[in-house]
Amino acid sequence: MTGGGAGRSSVRVGQGFDVHPFSDQAGRALVLGGVVIADSPGLAGHSDADVLSHAVADAVLGAAGLGDIGQHFPDTDPAFAGADSVELLRRVVAAAASAGLVAVNADCTVVCERPRIADYLVEMRARLGDVLDAPVNVKATRAEGLGSLGRAEGIAAFAVVLLVVGDDPVGAGAQG
């Protein structure tokens, strides 16, 4: 295969990354993968600051060749203040579907020292998997005390998403 022309490949991969610091706003919920994490300060951001949903959305947009999350939902637009990032992801998945692309799977990593999120991973996988209509794996790791993430100043997330042309038999086989 050659070149970068959209439509030449029936298999497309995208990667996404997002990071937000913890907020000092009292009562702000911590949301990761559309799941509210109990007893933890929320992240600072224009929307609900769900770094995991943002990373997945950027991965979908990248695979589809549709830009990035900031182009679609700018943090300067008051319409997205406090937005539910899972709903933004739903809109991104719909845009990819309009381009003829469907998700095969996603693999994600959340990097945080605190809170411990192991008890929430299954729910995150299910919530994001429902939106992508594909299997989603979510893992958690620590920065082991290194840098701002290691000092527990915020949370970061990475995501990789595989998309295929909707009627691609390889994609259909890969989903099963």
48-79 tens-digit pLDDT: 999 999 999 999 999 999 999 999 999 999 99
Domains of the chain: which residue ranges? Answer: 11-175
What number is the average pLDDT over the span 87-99?
97
**CA 48 to each of CA 10, 35, 44, 92, 148: distance values in angstroms, whole numbers, following the listed order:** 34, 11, 8, 16, 21
CB 109 within 8 A of CB 140: yes
Mean pLDDT over the full length of the chain? 91
Q: What is the CATH number of domain 11-175?
A: 3.30.1330.50
Instruction: Report pLDDT digits (tens) over 102-152.
Output: 999 999 999 999 999 999 999 999 999 999 999 999 999 999 999 999 999
